[in-house]
A and B are shown apart, each in its own frame.
Chain A
Amino acid sequence: MKLFQYIIRRMSWGALVLLFVSFFSFLVIQLPPGDYLTSYMARLEKSGMSIDNASMVALRHSYGLDQPFLVQYGKWFCRFIQGDMGVSFLYTEKVKVIILERLPATLLLSITSLLVIYLISIPIGIYAARRQYSVGDFLAAFFGFIGMAVPGFLLALILMWIAYQGFGVSIGGLQSPQFMDQPMSWAKAIDFMKHLPIPIIVITMSGTAALIRTMRATLLDELGKQYVTTARAKGLRESKLINKYPVRAAMNPIISSGGWLLPELFSGETIAAIVLGLPTIGPLLYRALLGEDMYLAAGCLMILSLLTIIGMLISDIILAITDPRIRLG
């Protein structure tokens, strides 16, 4: 029952955060001087066409750009709740349609990355802590420093370059052009799998590095505690001794890391996707921001934040299940 209450509390909190994020997104999109129509007009004038003032006013009115900020925000938010995110000026299509088209790839990349991060960092972290100052530990530390210091876009560029030089293939996007409009087949699936590693490496690098450090540090703290010595003195099998108690205790910070890992993951995903040309939401936001396409940009920011909030909610719930102190405290 306590758990249920806790979940309800976290969910209502998530809704509140979303409200704040929506206001922030809309505010940021509104801040630049001028709106989409001013830049649209400038482009028209450059190409020799002109548009008279009356139709300009009419256009502005039809898009609702002449109303005060709060009214625009209120209308936009009410429609957003109902699933209508407005129309993209750049693509002249519904924002919802464009985003939904890219949502599967975004989710697929993020979830795979999350799994990869946990699958790699937990065993390596355990190894590094158990064999402190061994060659493997130093290798892990070295890898950690690289992951921390190399910016994501640079890693993407370098990996692309290596793939291009070493294998003669250009690894842009998530599939080769010839498979673009084809139905799902084995060949297409294999092609897709070939394109997956580089984005995954780029996205997971910094997160994995950070988690290895966390896992190693917390496990080292646990290993120094007296209950470990007691268990060892009693003659408990080493593998059971390590995996059953200290590792479980050290897992808590890892599970709660979901909270900061997810925003980080979406950040990394955005950069990787822009450089590698992946069909995800990140590049969409980038293009929308450059083109002052406010509804699209706000929609992208909202969806990215929404995914983050949902992810944090899940990690909170998992933590509450595994650690009773959280749900009772």
Chain B
Amino acid sequence: MKIKLATFRLDFLRKRKNSEPDRFNALHSASQWTLIWAKFKDHKLALIGLYILAAFYLCILFAPIITPYDPWEDSKYIYSPPTPIHIFHEGKLHRPFVYNQEINTTPETFERIFKTDYSTPYPVRFFVKGAEYHWLGFIKSNIHLFGVDPKTSINLMGTDVLGRDCFSRNIYGLQISLTVGLFGVFITFILGSIIGGIAGYYGGVIDNIVQRVVEFISCIPTIPMWMALGAVIPQDWGNLKVYFAITVILALRSWTGLSRQVRSKLLQLREEEYIVAAKVSGTSGWKIITTHLLPGFLSYLIVSLTLEIPKMILGETTLSFLGLGLRPPTVSLGVLLQDAQNLAAISAYPWLLVSAVLVVIAVLAFNFVGDGIRDAADPYKN
């Protein structure tokens, strides 16, 4: 054990002390979390996933500032393709700028054609004034990270059927889609650990009943069940209510898996000698659970919760895509994908699929991070 620990790479310790005995001491005095983090850093994919997620959640937090337009504001640029950003104007180097797009309609087919007007460059400016917003709900401002002259428009990911800026809509969509998973996992965590904890700690009849209910629920195919529950949400509910209803629906399915894990882990830990020792020496039940049992499988819980989030994101996206989840004007990645429902739309306006790419990236990132934590937090793995 000593040899194994000493040989595995711990960068953070190498920096501090170089002599062998010091390294050894540092290794042994390192806390559990320091060790987990050190090992997690060795997992390259997990680290990349973590950076991506950090970037996504920063975007979410600063969504109104990063986005150049109000995501619900219509414009005359309907189905405009992504605006290219140039740095050469008439052969000379220029600060980054965009050209204006003129919209013409062909008289024969009424097809709209975008023609680039190469005469005037409109530089991309930073911290420009634009649509007013309330950051975090109470800080009123109209400063946006970047933008162009109101005479033209900058749409990094194109625009949709009403000329709304897809970049802004996708960022706001991330806001909803990535938090649905967090809230859902929070509910899953509470339901799963309480129910599974009771079943595992008491065992016997209670355990039996809980196990049967879990089996009942897992017999119903997930998507049909979600669809049925999604259809139950009344049409006249407000956005916020629907949002919470969806998180509850997603959690209703996933707590079963977690409760099973908590139960089996508890059943197993309950018999360990150190728990028996604690009981014999008169430690209270609450103290045993919180100081002896919980740390034993907390890392385990965190892993399965991290791996549960992407499933919820996919669930929300699928439900919203089918029109049984969140509904416009709420923007989530699934709602945005409703516009890409048929072949004609996809082949004519492929940039509508950017939302799908974001979903895939987010789901992959969560999975990598989950795998990374699992490898790092399991002390019994070599």
Of the candidates B228, B340, B364, the one whose C-beta lies within 8 Å of that of A301 is B228
Interface contact B215-A17, CB-CB below 8 Å: yes
**Segment of A24-32, A56-64, A67-75, A249-257 engaged in the interface with chain B:** A24-32
Q: In residues 14-35 of chain A, which contact B (Cβ within 8 Å)?
A: 17, 20-21, 24-25, 28-29, 31-33
Chain A residues in the interface with B (C-beta under 8 A): 17, 20-21, 24-25, 28-29, 31-33, 145, 148-154, 157, 160-161, 164-165, 170, 259-260, 262-264, 266-268, 270-271, 274, 282, 285-286, 289-290, 292, 297, 300-301, 304-305, 308-309, 312
Q: What is the minimal beta-carbon distance from B261 to any residue of chain A, in angstroms? A: 14
Chain B residues in the interface with A (C-beta under 8 A): 215-216, 218-225, 227-232, 234, 310, 314, 317-318, 321-324, 337, 340-341, 343, 346-347, 356, 359-360, 363-364, 367
Residues of A within 8 A of B314 (CB): 151
Interface contact A149-B364, CB-CB below 8 Å: yes
Interface contact A263-B218, CB-CB below 8 Å: yes
Of the candidates A152, A161, A301, the one whose C-beta lies within 8 Å of that of B346 is A161
Interface contact B227-A286, CB-CB below 8 Å: yes
A32: nearest chain-B partner, CB-CB: B232
21 contacts between A and B (CB under 8 A): A28-B228, A29-B228, A32-B234, A145-B367, A148-B363, A151-B317, A152-B318, A153-B321, A154-B356, A157-B341, A157-B343, A164-B347, A170-B343, A263-B220, A266-B224, A267-B224, A285-B227, A289-B227, A290-B324, A297-B231, A301-B225
Given known contacts A145-B364, A151-B317, A308-B221, is B232 in contact with A28 (CB within 8 Å)? Answer: yes
A-B contact count (CB 8 A): 116
Interface contact B228-A150, CB-CB below 8 Å: no
Residues of B within 8 A of A149 (CB): 310, 360, 363-364, 367
- Give the interface centre of A148, A154, A260 by most chain B CB atoms within 10 Å: A154
Summarize B's interface: helix, strand, loop or mixed: helix
Interface contact B222-A264, CB-CB below 8 Å: yes
Interface contact A289-B231, CB-CB below 8 Å: yes
Identify the 9 closest CB pairs spanning chains A and B, nearest first. Answer: A267-B223, A289-B231, A266-B221, A149-B363, A263-B221, A31-B232, A149-B364, A28-B228, A20-B216
Alpha-carbon separation in the docked complex, A268 to B346 (Å): 22
Alpha-carbon separation in the docked complex, A45 to B198 (Å): 53
Interface contact A304-B221, CB-CB below 8 Å: yes
Interface contact A151-B346, CB-CB below 8 Å: no
Interface contact B367-A148, CB-CB below 8 Å: yes
